[in-house]
Amino acid sequence: MSAMNTAATETTWTTKRGTLAQSASMAARSLASIKHYPAQLVDFFMIPLMILLSITFFMGGQMMGSWQDFLQYAGPTIIAMGLFFAVTSTGLGLYGDIKEGVFDRLTAMPVSRFSLLAGRVAADLVKYAWALLVVGGVAFAIGYRAEGGVLGTAAAAGVLLLFLFAASWSMVLVGLTAKSEEQIQTWMISLLMPLAYTSTIFVEIDTLPGAVQWWAELNPLTALADSMRVFLDGGTPGGEVWALLGWCAAILAVFVPLSLRAYRRKLTN
C-alpha cells in the first residue's frame, strides 16, 4: 500500500513538473529566434520609447505646465501604455506560428496544449521586461525620479509585468481565432487604445467629467496606473492594488480556458 502511495505521489509530481518544464522549453524556443532576428528586441521597445518621448516633449507642457512635471506624473504609466499596446505581438506571433505550421509539428510531440501557449506568453513577457528596462532607463536619463526608491520601482515593474502577462492571454485567444493579421491590428485599435485613453494614465481622475470619471474608475488600466504610482511615490498600497490583482485574476480566469478551447477546436478542424 505504501509503495502504491509513493508511486502515485511521484506520478503527480512528475506531471506538474512536466508542464512547467514544457512551458519553459517552448519559451526558450521562442526566445532562441532572437539570435537570428535580433531586430525584434528593438521592435519591442521602440514603440513605447517613441510614445514616451513624443507625448512628454510635445504634449506634456500643455497638459501640466512643463514637460518635466508631466514626466514625473505620467512617464511610467505612458511606458506601461506603450507596453500594453505591444501585447498584440503575442497574437501576431502566435498567428504566424500557426500559419507556418510550427504548432502542427509541436502538437505531434508529447507537449501539453497549455505549455505550447504558455511558452509563447512567457517568452513575450521576457521581451516586455527587456523593453521596460530600456525605456525606463531613458525616462531616468531625461529626468524621472522615483521617490519610492529601488523597492518601489521593482514593485511597480512587478505589477506591470503581471498585468501584461494577464493581458497577453487575451491576445492568445485573438491569435487563435483571427482570420488575418489585419484583424489582430483591428483588435488593438478598437479595444486596447480606447482602454488606454479613458484611464488615468495621462491625467488625474478628478479632472474628468462625471460619466467619464465613472468609467475610468472601473477601467483596469486605471488600477494599473494608480498601483504603479503608489509604489513609485513611496506610498502605502491599498485598494488600487487589490483592484489590479482582481482584474488580473478575472482576465486569466476568462481567457486561459477560452484560449485552450479555441486551440482544441483549431486542432480538430
Q: How far apart are CA 116 and CA 23, in angstroms?
A: 6
Cell 512643463 identifies what position? Answer: 66
User: How high is the pLDDT of residue 113?
Assistant: 76
Q: How far apart are CA 36 and CA 203, in angstroms?
A: 41
In 3D space, the residue among 131, 145, 134 whose CA is nearest the CA of residue 71 turns out to be 145
8 has pLDDT over 60 = no
Query: Could you read off the pLDDT of 232-258 as tens digits, one per residue?
Result: 999 888 899 999 999 999 999 999 999
Report how far apart, in Å, the C-alpha atoms of 142 and of each of 41, 50, 120 are: 22, 14, 33
Q: Which residues contact 232 (CB under 8 A, 6 or more apart)?
A: 76, 146, 147, 148, 152, 153, 156
Please report the DSSP string for 115-141 in residue order.
HHHHHHHHHHHHHHHHHHHHHHHHHHH
Q: Global pTM?
A: 0.86
Query: Could you read off the pLDDT of 44-98 as tens digits, one per residue?
Result: 888 899 999 999 999 888 888 889 999 999 999 999 999 998 888 888 888 887 7
What is the distance, to the nearest Å, from the Cα of residue 119 to the centroid of all Cα atoms in its chain? 14
Q: How far apart are CA 212 and CA 215, in angstroms?
A: 5
139 has pLDDT over 90 = yes
User: How high is the pLDDT of residue 13?
Assistant: 34
CA distance between the termini of the chain: 45
In 3D space, the residue among 154, 176, 148, 140 whose CA is nearest the CA of residue 258 turns out to be 176
28 C-beta neighbours (distance < 10 Å), count: 13
Domain ranges of the chain: 27-268
Q: How far apart are CA 151 and CA 168, in angstroms?
A: 25
User: How high is the pLDDT of residue 1?
Assistant: 42
User: How high is the pLDDT of residue 107?
Assistant: 62
